[in-house]
Amino acid sequence: MSFQLDKKQRVKEIIKCGKDPSYFLNTYARISHPMHGQILFDTYQFQDDLLKDFNDYRFNVILKARQLGISTITAGYIVWMMLFHRDKAILVMATKFATAGNLVKKVKSIMRNLPDWLRIATIDVDNRNSFELSNGSSIKAASTSGDAGRSEALSLLVLDEAAHIENLGELWTGLYPTLSTGGRCIALSTPNGVGNWFHKTCADAEDGSNNFHITTLPWDVHPDRDDLWYKKETKNMSKRQIAQELQCNFNTSGETVIDPECMEWLLSVVKEPKYRTGFDRNFWIWEEFDPTCNYLMVADVARGDGADNSAFHIIKLETLEVVGEYQGKPTIDMYAGMLNQIGREYGGCMLVVENNNIGYSVLDKLIDYQYPNLYHSIKSTHEYIEQHQAEVLNSAVPGFTTSMKTRPLIVAKLEEFIRNKLIKVYSSRTVNEMKTFIWRNGKPQAMKSYHDDLIMALAIACWIRDTALQANARDLNYQKAFADAVVISTTTMNTQIKGQFGYKKDNVFDKMNEARKMYDEFKWIIK
C-alpha cells in the first residue's frame, strides 16, 4: 500500500492497524533480511496464526524448530502492542543478556522503520537494551541471573529460548505474580532435553493441566522447506540435533528408558478417553467392560507423604490394551473402595496391588471386602500363587513386592513390550511420564520432581502378564494333560501368552478354569 495518504485515510489506517496486528505488520512493517536488507514483512500462515494466539490466549508456549522467524514475529507483535496501547510494560528474558537484547533491537528496528505518520508514539527514552515510548509503553531486556522484573507489574513477559534457561521453574514462581493484573506470557524455544520447565510446561499444556496454550512448529510448517532442504540441512547434524532443532522432539537425550523411536510410536497411539469419571474425574475409560473378555488390574499406592499419586491400569488381556486408568490422591479408604468396586465391575478380574509402604493398608481393606481375585506371591521369592492356595500357606503374602531385585526386571519387561509393540497405551498421562523416566545412577526412575506411578503400575502389569499368568496357564495345561491321559479325552488347549510362539486366540481363563476343575477331580491320581 502506498504511504501517500491524506489525513482521513491515515486515521482509518491507524484504526485498522490497531485492530489487526497481522494487517499492520504485513502492510507497514519492515524487517532486516541478511541478504536483501530492509524488506516488507510478509508473514506466513503459521505466523499469522501465532499473532492470533498471542491475542486470544494470555499464556502461550511455542515449541519450535530453528530459523522459522518466531522471534521476529514476536518482535512484531511487541511493536503492535506498544504502539497501539498505552502504558504497556514488556520484559524480554533469556539466559544470556545478549539474546534478550537482540529481541529488543528487533523491536526497535521495526519501530524506527515505520512511516512517520504511523509512529503515533515516539521513543522518549532510548537505551541500548531498553526504550520507552511517549505513550508510557516500555520494553527492556534482562538475563535470568538478575532480579529484573520480579517487583514490576508486567503487561507481557517474553521468555526467549526458554528451554535453555536454568532454574526457570524457580524463576517462574517469582515472575508469575508480576502477571497477576492481566499480564501475558510468551515462552518460545527449541527443545533442550526433558525435565526442565519448558518441557514440563509443554507436556502439561498438551494435557490441558496448566493455563498455557501450546503451538508446535516443526521444520516443515515453513512452505519453502521440502525434502531436499531437509536432506541438505541435516547432512552434518547429529540425530539429537535433528530431533530437537528440526522435529521438536524432546525425547532424544539418550537417558530415557524408552527409546525415542518407541516414544514416537506411543505418541501415535495416544487418544482421548471415552469417559472421564470418578469423584475427581481422574478415572479415564477408553472401553467399557466386555463380559467376553478377560482383564488384569494393577495398582500402585502412593507413599502417603502427599508428594506422589496412587494409580492403576485396567488391561484387556486378549489385546493388551489399557482400557482404563486412574491417577490421583484419594485417601486409603477411598482408594481401596475404588479398586474393589471397579475390579468387580470388570468381572472380578485379577487385582494386583503393590504391597510396598502403605499398600498393605489397601490390601487389608480389600481382604475385608472379600475381593475374589487378589494377586498373592510366596514371600521373598516373588513367585505367584493362587488365592485359594495362599489362604492356607503362611509363606504367602498378598500383593506384588517391588524391590531392588524386581524393579529392573519389571521395567525391562515393560520396555520389551513397548519395543515389540505388544501393548497399547492410549493415555497421554502415562506417555508423558515415560518422557521423564530415565536411567539415573544405573537405576530406572523418574526425573527429580516428576512421577513414575503410572509407569510402575504398567511395568508390573507387563511382568504379571508375561510371567505369573503364563506360568499358571502352563502348569494347568500340564495338569490337564495328565488328567486327559487318564480319562482318554481328546481336548487340547494352548494357553500361551500373545506374542509368544504358538499363541492361539482362545479364551485363556475359561480354559484355565476348565482345567482346574478337571484337575481337582483327578488330583488323587497325581498325589
Amino acid (1-letter code) at residue 181: T
3-state secondary structure of 425: coil
pLDDT of residue 282: 94
Residues 426 and 438 in one domain: yes
Same structural domain, 106 and 160: yes
**What is d(CA 212, CA 209) in angstroms, rounded to the nearest whole number?**
9
Query: In this predicted structure, what is the pLDDT of residue 61?
Result: 97
pTM flag (> 0.75): no
Which residue, chain included where needed, has cell 475359561? 510
Task: Indicate whether 138 belongs to any domain.
Answer: yes
Helix or strand or coil: residue 199?
helix
Residue 257 gets the label, from left (phi > 0), alpha (psi -120 to 50) or beta, of alpha
Residues near 460 by Cβ (< 8 Å), separated by ≥ 6? 298, 300, 352, 354, 400, 402, 410
- Residues of the chain predicted below pLDDT 70: 1-3, 34-36, 145-151, 251-255, 304-306, 380-382, 388, 390-392, 395, 440-442, 468-527
> Looking at the structure, do residues 75 and 146 belong to the same domain, yes or no?
yes
Q: Is residue 488 part of a domain?
A: yes
Per-residue pLDDT of 39-82, as tens digits, reads 888 899 999 999 999 999 999 999 999 889 999 999 999 999 99
Domain assignment of residue 281, given as a range: 268-467
Nearest alpha-carbon partner for 202 in 267, 295, 276, 273: 267
- Residue 153 sits in the same domain as residue 232: yes
User: Which of 439, 467, 495 finishes a domain?
Assistant: 467
Is residue 154, in this structure, part of any structural domain at all?
yes
**Predicted pLDDT at 480:** 47
Residue 262 lies in a domain: no
Three state DSSP letters for 440-507: ECCEEEECCCCCCHHHHHHHHHHHHHHHHHHHHHHHHHHHHHHHHHHHCCCCCCCCCCCCCCCCCCCC
pLDDT of residue 251: 59
Among 445, 467, 489, the domain boundary falls at 467
Domain count, the chain: 3
460 and 476 fall within a common domain: no
Question: Of 253, 282, 303, which residue is a domain's last?
Answer: 253
- The answer to whether 33 and 39 have CB atoms below 8 angstroms apart is yes
Residue matched to cell numbers 499419586? 309
Sheet with 376-378: list strands edge to edge: 383-385, 376-378, 396-398
CATH of the domain at 133: 3.40.50.300
* 361, 245: one domain: no
The pLDDT score that the predictor gives to residue 492 is 36
Do residue 181 and residue 222 come from a single domain?
Answer: yes
Cell 537482540 sits on residue: 102
pLDDT attached to residue 494: 36
Q: Is residue 96 part of a domain?
A: yes
Together in a domain, 479 and 374: no
Whether residue 313 sits in one domain with residue 206: no
Which residue is listed with cell 499368568? 469
CATH of the domain at 433: 3.30.420.240
Same domain for 455 and 476, yes or no, is: no
3-state SS, one letter per residue, for 125-187: EEECCEEEECCCCEEEEEECCCCCCCCCCCCEEEEECHHHCCCHHHHHHHHHHHHCCCCEEEE
Please give the pLDDT value at position 297.
Answer: 96
Task: Kindly state whether residues 216 and 296 are assigned to the same domain.
Answer: no
- Asked if residue 2 belongs to a domain, the reply is no
For residue 289, the model assigns a pLDDT of 95
Q: Give the HSE-up count for residue 234: Cα atoms under 13 Å, Cβ half-sphere.
A: 19
The reply to whether 238 falls in a domain is yes
Distant-in-sequence, close-in-space partners of 481: CB < 8 Å, separation ≥ 6: none
The per-residue pLDDT for 147 is 61
pLDDT at position 244, please? 81
Q: Is 438 in contact with 474 (CB distance < 8 Å)?
A: no
- Indicate if 179 and 309 belong to the same structural domain: no
Q: Considering the domain boundaries, does residue 355 fall inside one?
A: yes
Query: How many of the other CB atoms lie within 10 Å of CB of 405?
Result: 10
